[in-house]
A and B are shown apart, each in its own frame.
Chain A
Amino acid sequence: MVNIRPGDPLPERQYVCDSIQLFLYNAALWNAHRIHFDYPYTTEIEGYPGLVVAGPLMGDWLTQCVLDWLDEEGTLVSFEYSNRKAAFTGDELRSGGKVISSDPETGEVKLDLHIKNEADEVITPGKATVRFPVA
Chain B
Amino acid sequence: MGTLLTPELLSNIGKSAPPKKELVTRREIRKYSIATGQRQEKFLTGDEAPPMFHIALFWGIAEMDQLSPDGVFIDSFLPEFPLKRAMAGGWKIDYHRPVYPGDVLIAKRTLTAIYEKKGSQGPLIFYEITTEVESESGETILTEKTTRILR
Question: Which of A's residues lie within 8 Å of B, judged by CB?
Answer: 15, 21, 24-25, 27-35, 38, 41, 46, 55-57, 59-61, 63-64, 67-68, 75-85
Given contacts A60-B36, A63-B52, contact A28 B91 (CB under 8 A): no
Distance to closest chain A CB from B55 (angstroms)? 5
The answer to whether B36 touches A61, judged by C-beta atoms less than 8 angstroms apart, is: yes
Are A80 and B52 within 8 A (Cβ)? no
How far is it, in angstroms, between the C-alpha of A41 and the C-alpha of B50 when the chains are bound? 32
Of the candidates A15, A35, A77, which one forms a contact with B37 in the assembled complex, judged by CB atoms under 8 Å apart?
A15
**Complex contacts, A82 vs chain B, CB 8 Å:** 88-91
Cα(A57)–Cα(B56), bound, Å: 10
Interface size on B, residues (CB 8 A): 32
User: How far is A38 from B92 in the complex, measured between Cα atoms in Å?
Assistant: 30
Top 6 nearest A-B pairs (CB, nearest first) are A82-B90, A32-B71, A80-B92, A24-B35, A83-B88, A25-B35
Instruction: Tell me, in angstroms, the Cα distance from A116 to B51 when the chains sit together.
Output: 21
A3 to chain B, nearest CB (A): 22
Please measure, in the bound complex, the distance between the C-alpha atom of A84 and the C-alpha atom of B73, giving whole angstroms: 22
Set A32, A64, A85: member contacting B38, Cβ < 8 A? A64
- Contacting residue for A79 out of B60, B88, B95, CB 8 A: B95
| Bound CA–CA A30/B40 (angstroms) | 24
Taken together as a complex, chains A and B put the C-alpha atoms of A31 and B62 apart, in Å, by 9
B89 partner residues in chain A, CB cutoff 8 A = 55, 82-83
Among the stretches B9-17, B26-34, B112-120, B129-137, the one at the interface with A is: B26-34
Could you say which residues of chain A place their CB within 8 Å of the CB of B36?
Answer: 25, 57, 60-61, 64
CB-based contact A68/B40 at 8 Å: yes
User: B46-70 CB contact bits vs A (8 Å, 1 = yes)?
Assistant: 0000111001100111100001001
Contact A33 B52 (CB under 8 A): no
Instruction: Determine if B32 and A84 form an interchain contact, defined as CB atoms under 8 angstroms apart.
Output: no
Complex Cα spacing A46 to B68, Å = 14
Given known pairs A33-B70, A60-B50, the reply for A76 and B56 (CB within 8 Å) is: no
User: For B95, what are the chain A residues with a Cβ–Cβ distance below 8 Å?
Assistant: 75-79
Give the residue of A24, A56, A81, A83 whose beta carbon is less than 8 angstroms from that of B31: A24
Q: Which of A24, A56, A77, A85 is B91 in contact with, Cβ under 8 Å?
A: A56
